[in-house]
Amino acid sequence: MQEHRLLAIALIWSVAGLMILLLLAIYAEPQQLQIAGLETEIGKIVAVTAEVESVSYKEDTVFMTLSDNTGKIKTVFFGNPSSEIIRGDSVAVKGKIQLYRGNLEIVIQELRCLSC
């Protein structure tokens, strides 16, 4: 009896928890940061608005170096952006900060070109 009650509580708790997290994922915007402040954010999802310093396309992957007035960072985006991004464009990206071969990079989840 106790097992069934615990099972029911766990199931309701799981579904309710997932719904709350889903709402948070939809409505909670990641912190908008400058590039210099990203060093302490490894593993976190952040938002950055910056200028494209260099860009290269390889199959379905876009590699960009972004810069703002505090520094620069490499990024990778797996997919095709809605419009072609070129050097000098201003972009807003949302993605996860990680270290790749000892250097910081943003693995972009959402990419928006502000000047295209």
Give 111's contacts (C-beta < 8 A, 6+ positions apart). 62, 77, 79, 81, 85, 91, 92, 93
Residues in CB range of 107: below 8 A, 6 or more apart:
75, 76, 78, 95, 96, 98
Selected range binding another protein among 51-59, 63-71, 81-89, 97-105, rule: CB under 8 A = 97-105
Q: In whole angstroms, what is the distance from residue 60 CA to residue 58 CA?
A: 6
Q: Does 70 bind another protein (CB under 8 A)?
A: no
Secondary structure of residue 24 in the 3-state scheme: helix
For the CB of residue 89, give the shortest distance to another protein in the complex, in Å.
Answer: 25
* Element containing residue 43 per DSSP (H, E): none
> Is 92 one of the binding residues for another protein (CB under 8 A)?
no
Stretch that binds another protein, among 41-49, 53-61, 65-73, 81-89 (CB under 8 A): 41-49
99 binds another protein (CB under 8 A): yes
Q: Which residues bind another protein (CB under 8 A)?
A: 2-3, 6-7, 9-11, 13-15, 17-18, 20-22, 24-25, 28, 30-31, 41-46, 78, 99-102, 109
